Chain A
Amino acid sequence: MYSKTIYMDNAASTRTDPAVVDAMLPFFTEHYAVASSQFSHSPGIYSREALDKARTGIAGYVNAEPDEIIFTSGSTEANNLALKGLALANDKKHIICSSIEHNSVMHTCRWLEKQGFELTLIPVDSEGFIDIGFLEKELRKDTLLVSVQHGNQEVGSVQDIVRISELCREHGVIFHSDASLTLTHMPIDLRNTPVDLMSFSGHRIHGPKGIGALFIRKGTPLQKIMHGGYSEFDMRPGTENIPGAVGFAKAVEIASDSQNRMVRALQKQLVAGLVSGIDGVALNGPENFEKRLPGNVNVSFDRIEGESVVLHFDMQGISVITGSACFSRSLEPSHVMMAMGFSHERAHGSIRFTMSKFNTSDEIDQIIAVSREVVENLRKISPIT
């Protein structure tokens, strides 16, 4: 086990809100029937109504229709269903995604490439924003799909999905966006933004793990990729995860702008303390906070390597991650930072802090103090001057 921590890895997963857990519990021990039709038994109807209510809640939050929301096991499944489901249902053979996608999009696109699709990657600038001019030039008659994430998992850049989706619409190309990190953190209005497919995640917003959703705009040609029963409008077989859906909807319901503002304040406090307070620290990702996920701070410490920093932080009870190759299973530096044109050294020295509503200003002060000490100690033994 481990002792009390300052948890700064909220882009990976968040603490489930106790109100979410409370909402879910009855659906384990009391209302555990499968969600069946109105001609079934009473417990089944009760479950059906709970599922519908969860669906309606999430749909309303993003300004979509309830039957446009399909529950999945998470955003990885939603991304797979969106991309593979489109590929199966269409003849066009060209797909486009950004070069900084999460692996659940990137590796799915790479797999489709092996199946005979042509894949184009959209380059990004040094702040992690895609080159929209490049995208426009690459849109062709046989382009099936463009997939561009809403918010980036590593450097927090938030893409202009209004403009990108409008551009795709003008060219008759289907647009998918992975919004697993932006739901409840950045505005999403699907009635007024021509996004065709959008993926969501429960556990990144204080909901439970094992639940996500895919928004499928009516009329979007998509085939299911798993086969079984007829649940989720015959798009996603398998017994519905009702506790998960209920918890996910609760997490969306209790999210608030005031929490986002609080997280934003913590973010600014940390950036100021690290970048202005310590020599040789560079902010990675957007300088303009309006275009950055509220809880994301990513910096590179000159002359020291990230894994050592992570380990020192961990020994002091602070949970962060690094883009260093040493930290990854592939032993490759972060593909996001490579796409942003960073040197290997900058990627190796990068540290990501992602905070949530459960963090405090005192914790940020502690992190700044520990950072100063760790950086000083590691620089003392560094051969790089």
Chain B
Amino acid sequence: MSIPYSDKILSHFKHPHNVGKLDSPDAMATEGSPACGDMVKLYLNVDEKTKKITDITFESYGCASNIATGSIITDMAKGKTIEEAKNINWKEADKELGGLPAVKVHCAVLAVDALKTAIENYEHQHGLVKNKVATDETIVLKRLSRVINPIVGIDVVKTKLVTDISITQGTVTVQVDLPPDHQFANNVKNEIMERIEPLWDVTNVVVVFKET
């Protein structure tokens, strides 16, 4: 076969493990977007006492390396404590898979990022954040820089789709340069909420669209 994938990648691609949604996940995360050509959603259940990952699943819109990495990384994380799972990096995933083609590494990174973000979200939502830094504009911007502007496939911060951020008493308000009836308005709103809501001191997220 001319496609430079290892047999292990092809096998995970063909029959991915741990696929689907969890009914009531303790935490979740999304990385990427259809506009980039790759997107992963990851769902976690964590045992509150042992902090072990009891269940983990993923959904993928993407190429073979994206699907295979989602499959392998959920295999690797299952049964580990969240502290152990945090240390899984793409190099380990890459090794497990028998080596991804260089041009495909960025697709694999997404799944690893999704695992890290999901664990981070879990910590925020379960009082496990060690350095409780109050959410400020920098933290919000950092999180929003992972939300993709679906019109151009580049993040909403770089493309200036987010025009203003204000934070008062746990409420984060994000101004978005889109009319409320834009085809992607809901999509962008949901992704912004999903990114900001988990932060430990955030109680409410408001997305404000441009007046028409």
B112-152 residues at the A interface, CB under 8 angstroms = 150, 152
- When the two chains form their complex, are residues B61 and A384 in contact, meaning their CB atoms are under 8 A apart? yes
State the CA gap A343–B187 with chains docked (Å): 14
Is A2 in the interface zone, CB < 8 Å from B?
yes
- When the two chains form their complex, are residues B37 and A381 in contact, meaning their CB atoms are under 8 A apart? no
Minimum CB–CB distance for B27 against chain A, Å:
15
State the CA gap A308–B69 with chains docked (Å): 13
Q: Is the interface of B mostly helix, strand, loop or mixed?
A: mixed
- When the two chains form their complex, are residues A324 and B63 in contact, meaning their CB atoms are under 8 A apart? yes
Minimum CB–CB distance for A240 against chain B, Å:
33
Is A304 in the interface zone, CB < 8 Å from B?
yes
Q: Which of B19, B59, B61, B150 contacts A305 (CB 8 A)?
A: B61
Minimum CB–CB distance for A373 against chain B, Å:
12
- When the two chains form their complex, are residues A333 and B59 in contact, meaning their CB atoms are under 8 A apart? no
- When the two chains form their complex, are residues B3 and A324 in contact, meaning their CB atoms are under 8 A apart? no
Question: Which one of B38-46, B92-100, B159-167, B168-176 is at the interface?
Answer: B38-46
Minimum CB–CB distance for B104 against chain A, Å:
8
Is B13 in the interface zone, CB < 8 Å from A?
yes
- When the two chains form their complex, are residues B64 and A382 in contact, meaning their CB atoms are under 8 A apart? no
Interface string of B5-34 (1 = CB under 8 A from A): 100001001101001100000000010001
- When the two chains form their complex, are residues A382 and B59 in contact, meaning their CB atoms are under 8 A apart? yes
Interface string of B80-118 (1 = CB under 8 A from A): 000000000000000000000001100100000000000
- When the two chains form their complex, are residues A308 and B40 in contact, meaning their CB atoms are under 8 A apart? no
- When the two chains form their complex, are residues A383 and B41 in contact, meaning their CB atoms are under 8 A apart? yes
B41 partner residues in chain A, CB cutoff 8 A: 383
- When the two chains form their complex, are residues A382 and B35 in contact, meaning their CB atoms are under 8 A apart? no
- Take A329-B103, A384-B61 as given contacts and tell me if A308 and B14 are in contact as well, using a CB distance cutoff of 8 Å: no
- Take A344-B150, A383-B59 as given contacts and tell me if A305 and B38 are in contact as well, using a CB distance cutoff of 8 Å: yes
B63 partner residues in chain A, CB cutoff 8 A: 305, 307-308, 311, 324, 326-327
Residue of B nearest to A344 (CB): B35
A319-352 residues at the B interface, CB under 8 angstroms = 324-327, 329, 331, 333, 343-345, 348
Residue of A nearest to B34 (CB): A345
Residue of B nearest to A333 (CB): B37
A308 partner residues in chain B, CB cutoff 8 A: 13, 62-64, 67
- When the two chains form their complex, are residues A303 and B37 in contact, meaning their CB atoms are under 8 A apart? no
- When the two chains form their complex, are residues B19 and A380 in contact, meaning their CB atoms are under 8 A apart? yes
B79 partner residues in chain A, CB cutoff 8 A: none
Is B208 in the interface zone, CB < 8 Å from A?
no
State the CA gap A311–B62 with chains docked (Å): 12
Residue of A nearest to B39 (CB): A383
Is A314 in the interface zone, CB < 8 Å from B?
yes
- When the two chains form their complex, are residues A315 and B103 in contact, meaning their CB atoms are under 8 A apart? no
Interface residues on B, range: 20 to 34
Q: Which of B3, B38, B59, B107 contacts A314 (CB 8 A)?
A: B3
Residue of A nearest to B70 (CB): A381
Minimum CB–CB distance for B202 against chain A, Å:
23
- Take A326-B37, A326-B38 as given contacts and tell me if A381 and B20 are in contact as well, using a CB distance cutoff of 8 Å: yes
A348 partner residues in chain B, CB cutoff 8 A: 34, 37
A324 partner residues in chain B, CB cutoff 8 A: 37, 63
- Take A307-B63, A311-B13, A315-B14 as given contacts and tell me if A343 and B150 are in contact as well, using a CB distance cutoff of 8 Å: yes
A384 partner residues in chain B, CB cutoff 8 A: 34, 39, 61
Residue of B nearest to A347 (CB): B37
- Add 20 more A-B contacts to A304-B61, A345-B150 (CB < 8 A): A303-B61, A305-B62, A307-B63, A308-B13, A311-B3, A315-B14, A326-B104, A343-B35, A344-B34, A344-B35, A344-B153, A345-B35, A348-B34, A380-B20, A381-B16, A381-B19, A382-B61, A383-B30, A383-B39, A383-B60
Task: Mark A residues whose CB is within 8 Å of B.
Answer: 2, 303-305, 307-308, 311-312, 314-315, 324-327, 329, 331, 333, 343-345, 348, 380-384
30 A–B pairs (Cβ distance < 8 Å), ordered by A: A303-B61, A305-B61, A305-B66, A307-B62, A307-B64, A308-B62, A308-B63, A308-B64, A311-B3, A311-B10, A311-B13, A314-B1, A315-B10, A315-B14, A326-B38, A326-B63, A326-B104, A326-B107, A327-B63, A333-B37, A343-B150, A344-B34, A344-B36, A380-B19, A381-B20, A381-B60, A382-B59, A383-B61, A384-B39, A384-B61
